[in-house]
Structure 1
Amino acid sequence: MTPAILSAAVLLGALVLFVSERVRHDLVALLALLACVLLGLTPPAEAFAGFADPAVIAVAAVLVIGRAIELSGVAASVSRVLMPARAGFTVRLAVLLVLGAFLSAFMNNIAALVVTMPIAAQVAREAKRPPAATLMPLAFATILGGMTTLIGTPANLILSSVRAKELGTGFGFFQMAPVGVAVSAVGLLYLVLVGWRLLPVRQGMDRPVRPPWRVYELTVPAAVSLAGLLPRLRTAAVRLLAAFREGHRIRLETGLEAGDRLLVVSRRQQWIAAEATGLRSDIEEAEGDSVTARVVVAHGSFLIGLSHEAIRIRSNDTLTVVAVGPRAARRRAPLASLRIEAGDQLFVRGRPADLARFVGTARLLEVDRVDRLPVARRQAAPILMIFIAAIVSIVGFGAPPALAFLAAAVALVATRLMGADEVYQAIDWSVIVLLAAMIPVGHSFETSGAAAIAAEWLGATLAGLPPVVVIAALCSMTLLLSIFLNNVATAIIMGPLAIDAARVLGIGPDAALLAVLIGTSADFLTPIGHQNNLLVMGPGGYRFTDYARMGAVLVVLVVGTAAMVLALP
C-alpha cells in the first residue's frame, strides 16, 4: 500500500477510537503515533518532535497564566462589579454572556466558565428561573469568546503553528479578531434574544425550584426485612439503590442486618431522611455558620482521581462531602470506593470562607450558592502586569507566542506569585500529550500525500462555487469532524488540508485556516463537543437533544457569518 493510504488508514482508525469513547483520547493519539512510526510514516527521530513544538509549549504556558489569573480572584471580582443589580433578566443575561466571552478570549475556556458560572446561577435564581435558562447560554458564550484571540483555545495555537510551517509566520495575537468578534457578536445577540427561550421548561417558572437529587448512604441500626423497610422509604420520599455489607453489595431479598449500609437517592437531606425512616445518618444537621454548596468538578481539578475523603484532607478538616450527584446512583457502588471524575456533582459543607477558598483552588464550579473568592490584592496586580507584558511583547515587538508566554509563566513562579505545585496542576497533561502525539501524525498525513489527495478531491467537489460557499463548506466540514474528535485533533488534521485546499480552489490560505479555526470551536450541537458543554449538563438538567435545540440555529449563524466575513476582499 502507498504511504497515503497507510496514513489515511491510521487517521481513520484513530477516528474510530476517538468516537468509541472507550479509549482515552491521549492514549488514542499515542497509539496513532506508534502506528505511524511502525509503518514508516514518521521517522523515529521525529516521533517526539511534537513535545518540542512551539504550540504545545504555548498551550501549557497559557494554561498556567490563566490559572494564576483565576486564583487571584480579580476576574470574578470584576465580573460581579460589572453585573447590574437591578436590571431585568435579559439585560443581566446579556452582561453575563459578554463577560464570559471576554474572559474566555484571554483565559482558558474552562477557567472563564469557572469564574462566571456561580454568577449565572445567581442571575437565574434572582429572576425565579431554573439554572437551565443561563448555564447553556453561558457555556456557548465562553466558546464563542475563544474564537477571538490567539490564546482563546489550544486549537488556535495549533493552527498558528500550521501557518508558521506552511507560510513562514504564525497568526498575530488579534489576527482572528475581525471574524471572531463578528461571529461572537451575532452569536451572543442570538443567545440573549432568542436562544435561551428555545430551551425546554421542565419546571414551572411560577413554582419554587425543587431541591436537587442527592445520593448518600444511611446505616441500618438493627436487623430489618426489606418488606418492612420499603414502605418507610417511600413515605419519606427516599429511593433505595443498593445495600452493602462490609463493603460488598448484597442481595436485598436476604434481609438487612445491623451495620449494613444503604445507598439511597432523595431530595431530602440525609438527617431528615434518617429520622423519617428509622435509619442512621453519619451526617448531622449543620450547626453555626456552616453551609452546604453543590459544586461540579471541572476539568483540570487536582481532585480528579481521588476519593471524596480527599476533600476533607486537602481542606485541613474544614470541609466535608455530605452527598454526591447522579453518577453514584448509576454506579451503585459504595461511595468510599468511588473516585472523583470531571463533571461530578458534590455537596460540600463548611464555613463560607473555607468553601470560597477551596472552590477556587480546587477548580470546582459552584452552582447553588455563591461565595466571593477574595481578591489576592498583592498578587493580582503583578499577575496582570506579567500577562499584559507578554501580550505587548507579541503584538508590539513580534515576540514568538511560545517564548513570551513561557517567560510569563516562569516569571510567575520566580516571583512566587504561583507555587510550583500549582503550576503542574494547572496544566492539563492529557491535552499536552494529545497535542504532542498528534502533531507528527498530522505531519505524516501531509508528507505522505494523503492531504494533497483529499485537497484535490475537495477542490473538484467545490470547484466553480463562490468563495463564500467554499469557506462555509470548509467551516462546516471542520465542525462535523469536531463533533467526533476534540477541537485540538480536528485542528491538527484540518489545518494542512485547508491550506492545500486553498491552493487548489484559489482562495486565500488565511481565509481557509480561519474557517477551520471557527469550525473547531463551533460544536453547539452536542454536550460532548466541548468540555464546557458537558460541565453544565448536570447542573442545568439538560438532555442530549437540548443542545441541538438551542445550538442548531447558532451553528448556522456562526458558519454563515464567518463565511461572509472571510469572503470579503
Structure 2
Amino acid sequence: MPGIPNPHAIAALVVTIAMFIGFARGRLSVEIVSLLTIAVIAVGLYFFPLPGTGPTEGLQLAFAGFGHYALITICALMIMGRGLVVTGALEPAARFLERVFKFNLQIGLLVSLVLAMLLSMGVNDTPVLVLLLPIFVTLAARGAMPASKTLIPLNAAVLIGGMATTIGTSTNILVVSIASDLGMPPVGVFDFTPIVLVAALVALPYLWLVMPRLLGDNSVAETGIKRRFSARLRVTEGSMLNGKVLAEILPRLPADIEFHEAPAGLLRPQQRLRMSGPHEALEEALRVLKGEAAPNWVLDRIRRKAQETRQDIVVVEMTVTADSRLIHRTLPSSGIADLYGVAVVGVHRPERLMAAKDQFSEGGDMRFAEGDVLLVMGLPDELQAFARGDSLLTLEGMRELPRRSKAVLSAAIMLGSVGTASVGLLPIAIAALGGAILMFVTGCVKFDRVGRALSAKVIVLIAASIAIGRIVDDSGAAQWLGQLLAYGLQYLAPAAVLAAIMLFVTVLTNFASNATAATVGTPIAFAIAAQLGLPPEPLILAVLFGCNLCYATPIAYQTNMLIMAEGSYEFRDYIRTGVPLVILMVTTLSIMLVLTYEL
C-alpha cells in the first residue's frame, strides 16, 4: 500500500482540484481562475520550494507556461489561421461545404466529421484542426450551423482519428517508444486501427446527433432588421452574367439578394441591373457575379493604391447628416469618386423617406437625403477624409475585404507548415513559427491585426495548465497516483484492469498533459502486466487510448484550446459533452481490447 504523499504532492492535487472546481462553477472568468492558479503556485513554491530547488526556480515553474513552446505554437497557428481568413484562401473549401450544409445541415456535419477522422489518421491532430477551424468559422458566418455547435464535435472527431495510428499524434509515438524501451515488441502503424475504427463507429452517432444538442448557440444574435442597400450592377465582359439569363445565376447568390426590374433574355456587357440586399450579402453577390457597382476607374485606383501602400481595402457604412453637402445631390453629380477616391457601392434609404416626391432626379438617379446610409469602399485615410469633408457619420459595420491576391500564397504557407510537421521533417512548433513569420513577411497578416487572431483567455489558460502539469509531475503527485492504481488493480479481473488503467490515464491527461500521462502510465501498465501475468500489448494500448481521450477539459490538449475562443466555449461545455464521450470510448475500447487479445 503506497504511503501518504509528500506535502508538495498533496498541495499540487488540492490546487488542481480547486482550479477544476473554479472552472466548472463559472462564477469567475477563465482568465481570473487561471491567473489565481499561477499566483498560488508561484507564491507557494517561493516560500515552500520543491526539494533540491530554490525559490526562484519555483517562480520559473509557475510562469514557464508563458514562454512554453506549446503556447507559442498555438499562437503561431492562430496567426496562420487568421492569414487564411483575411486572404480568402479558404473560400473554395468553405463554399463546397456550404453547399453540402445547404442541402442538409445534418449530412453536412456528418461529412465533416468523417473527413476530420480520416485526415487525422495520417496527419497530426493539430494541423488538421488548424486547417478545418477557419473553414467552419467561415461557414457559421455564412449561415450554416453555429461554430459553437460544430467545433467541439469536430475536435473530438480529429482526436478519435488521431488515436487510430501510431503517427496520428506525437503522444502515440511517445507511448510506443517508451514501451519499446521497456522491452515490448514494436507496434506497427496500423496494428490497433481496427479497434479504434469500431470505437469511432460507436462514437460517431453521439458526435453527430447528440453533442451539438448539448451545446448552446454562442453566435452573436442580430439586433433589429438588417439594412438593405440598393446598388446598380454593371455587367462586364468577364462577368458571370454575360450571355446568361438572370434566373440561371440566382441559385448561386445569397438568398436575401433581390433584383428589381430585371431585363428579360440574355444579359450583355454594359447592361445595368438594380439589386438590393444586406451589406454582407451584397459583397458576396458582387464577388460571385464579377460585376461592378461603381466606376471601373475608381475601383482600379483603390486597388492600385492599396497595393502600393500595403493597406487593406475596407467597406464601411456612413449616414448622411443634416449639414452634408450631399443632400439633394445624386451620386453622379456629387463628385465623390473624383474628390476623395472612394466608391459608393450601395445606398440604404429609411422607409420614412421612401414616399418623398423629389427623391429621384429627372435622369432616374436617387437624390441623397438626410438619414440615407451609404455603403462606401476605399482605404481608411480616404474614407475618413470623405466623412469629414461631406459631414457623414461613420456607423458600425466596417468590413475588411479579403486580400485575394495573396490567397494562394497564404494557402501555400499553411500547407507547407502542415506538411513539414506531418511528415516529421520539422517539429510542429518550428513549422508553425516559420509559417507565422512568412505570413507577416509576405503581408498575408498585418502586425497591427495580430490582436484579432489571438485570445487572451486561451493564452492565460494554457499558461496555467502548463504550470499545473509541471507541479503535478515534479511534486510526485502523478507517480503516487500511479502507485495507488497499481496496488488496487491486482485484485481485479483483466477486463477491469484494462478499463481502470485507461480511465486513470484519461483523468491524468485531462488535468495534467498527454506527455505526463504517457510518461507515468506506460511504465505502470508494463509493470502491472508482468505482475498479473498478462500480455503487455493490451495494457500499453489502454494507456495510448487513454492519453487520447482528452475531451473533458479545455486544458487537456492544445486543439481543445484552439477552438475555445472561436466557439465562445465555457469550461462547462467541455465537461458536459466530453464526460459522456469519455465513458462511451472507455467502455467500447476496453471491450474491443478484451475481445481482440482474448483476455
TM-score class, shorter-chain normalisation, is 0.5 to 0.7
The question of whether the paired residues in 2 share the 8 Å contact of 1:476 and 1:559 is answered with yes
Q: Which amino acid is 1:419 matched to?
A: K
Deviation at 1:431, TM superposition (A): 3.7
Which residue of structure 2 lines up, in the alignment, with residue 144 of structure 1? 157
Which residue of structure 2 lines up, in the alignment, with residue 36 of structure 1? 45
The question of whether the paired residues in 2 share the 8 Å contact of 1:26 and 1:430 is answered with no
Which residue of structure 2 lines up, in the alignment, with residue 520 of structure 1? 550
Deviation at 1:382, TM superposition (A): 2.1
Residues 291 and 49 of structure 1, relative CA distance in 2, 3 Å threshold? closer
Deviation at 1:547, TM superposition (A): 8.7
Counterpart check, 1:463 vs 2:490: yes
Deviation at 1:6, TM superposition (A): 1.9
The question of whether the paired residues in 1 share the 8 Å contact of 2:113 and 2:157 is answered with no
Q: Deviations over 1:28-47 (max 9, x none)?
A: 13422432343112542443
Q: Deviations over 1:429-456 (max 9, x none)?
A: 4444444455455334334333222111
Counterpart check, 1:8 vs 2:28: no
Residues 52 and 407 of structure 1, relative CA distance in 2, 3 Å threshold? same
The question of whether the paired residues in 1 share the 8 Å contact of 2:482 and 2:521 is answered with yes
Which residue of structure 1 lines up, in the alignment, with residue 333 of structure 2? none
Counterpart check, 1:64 vs 2:79: yes
Which residue of structure 1 lines up, in the alignment, with residue 419 of structure 2? 392
The question of whether the paired residues in 2 share the 8 Å contact of 1:96 and 1:120 is answered with no
Distance across 2 between alignment mates of 1:73 and 1:17: 39
The question of whether the paired residues in 2 share the 8 Å contact of 1:479 and 1:520 is answered with yes
Residues 98 and 68 of structure 1, relative CA distance in 2, 3 Å threshold? farther
Counterpart check, 1:115 vs 2:110: no
Q: Of the candidates 69, 91, 98, which is equivalent to residue 107 of structure 2?
A: 91
Counterpart check, 1:55 vs 2:78: no
Distance across 1 between alignment mates of 2:143 and 2:438: 37
Which residue of structure 2 lines up, in the alignment, with residue 406 of structure 1? 433
Q: Deviations over 1:180-239 (max 9, x none)?
A: 7765554334444x53797799xxxxxxxxx979699xxxxxxxxxxxxxxxxxxxxxxx
Residues 110 and 412 of structure 1, relative CA distance in 2, 3 Å threshold? closer
Distance across 2 between alignment mates of 1:316 and 1:375: 9
Q: Looking at CA atoms only, which structure, 1 or 2, has the larger radius of gyration?
A: 2
Residues 50 and 165 of structure 1, relative CA distance in 2, 3 Å threshold? farther
Q: How many residues of Structure 1 are paired with residues of Structure 2 in the alignment? A: 396
Q: Deviations over 1:376-415 (max 9, x none)?
A: 4432322232233233333445433322222222222222
Q: Of the candidates 74, 79, 91, which is equivalent to residue 94 of structure 2?
A: 79
- Point out where structure 1 has 5 or more consecutive residues left out of the alignment: 125-130, 151-155, 169-173, 202-210, 217-286, 294-313, 321-349, 355-371
Distance across 1 between alignment mates of 2:81 and 2:70: 16
Secondary structure in 2 aligned to 1:318? strand
Residues 378 and 52 of structure 1, relative CA distance in 2, 3 Å threshold? same
Q: Deviations over 1:522-560 (max 9, x none)?
A: 569xxxx9896897699xxx9x89995x87764443333
The question of whether the paired residues in 2 share the 8 Å contact of 1:63 and 1:108 is answered with no
Q: What pairs up with 1:200-279 in 2 under 5 angstroms?
A: none
Which residue of structure 2 lines up, in the alignment, with residue 445 of structure 1? 472
Which residue of structure 2 lines up, in the alignment, with residue 318 of structure 1? 316
Deviation at 1:467, TM superposition (A): 6.5
Residues 512 and 319 of structure 1, relative CA distance in 2, 3 Å threshold? farther
Segment drifting more, 36-45 vs 553-562: 553-562
Q: Of the candidates 189, 195, 203, which is equivalent to residue 187 of structure 1?
A: 203
Deviation at 1:123, TM superposition (A): 7.7
Q: Deviations over 1:270-294 (max 9, x none)?
A: xxxxxxxxxxxxxxxxx9744599x
Distance across 1 between alignment mates of 2:482 and 2:75: 31
Q: Of the candidates 586, 591, 598, which is equivalent to residue 559 of structure 1?
A: 586
Which residue of structure 2 lines up, in the alignment, with residue 276 of structure 1? none
The question of whether the paired residues in 2 share the 8 Å contact of 1:11 and 1:32 is answered with no
Distance across 2 between alignment mates of 1:98 and 1:352: 41
The question of whether the paired residues in 2 share the 8 Å contact of 1:69 and 1:380 is answered with yes
Q: Which amino acid is 1:318 matched to?
A: V
Deviation at 1:61, TM superposition (A): 2.4
Distance across 2 between alignment mates of 1:182 and 1:65: 34
Q: Deviations over 1:275-325 (max 9, x none)?
A: xxxxxxxxxxxx9744599xxxxxxxxxxxxxxxxxxxx9989369xxxxx
The question of whether the paired residues in 2 share the 8 Å contact of 1:92 and 1:123 is answered with no
Residues 64 and 85 of structure 1, relative CA distance in 2, 3 Å threshold? closer
Task: Please report the RMSD computed on the Cα atoms of aligned residues, expressed in angstroms.
Answer: 5.5
Q: Which amino acid is 1:515 matched to?
A: F
TM-score (norm 2): 0.50
Deviation at 1:60, TM superposition (A): 2.8
Distance across 2 between alignment mates of 1:459 and 1:98: 37
Q: Which amino acid is 1:502 matched to?
A: A
Q: Which amino acid is 1:68 matched to?
A: G
The question of whether the paired residues in 2 share the 8 Å contact of 1:73 and 1:373 is answered with no
The question of whether the paired residues in 1 share the 8 Å contact of 2:502 and 2:586 is answered with yes
Which residue of structure 2 lines up, in the alignment, with residue 501 of structure 1? 524
Residues 14 and 416 of structure 1, relative CA distance in 2, 3 Å threshold? same
Distance across 1 between alignment mates of 2:176 and 2:64: 17
Residues 353 and 18 of structure 1, relative CA distance in 2, 3 Å threshold? farther
Which residue of structure 2 lines up, in the alignment, with residue 360 of structure 1? none
Q: Which amino acid is 2:455 matched to?
A: D
The question of whether the paired residues in 1 share the 8 Å contact of 2:458 and 2:564 is answered with no
TM-score (norm 1): 0.52
Secondary structure in 2 aligned to 1:521? coil
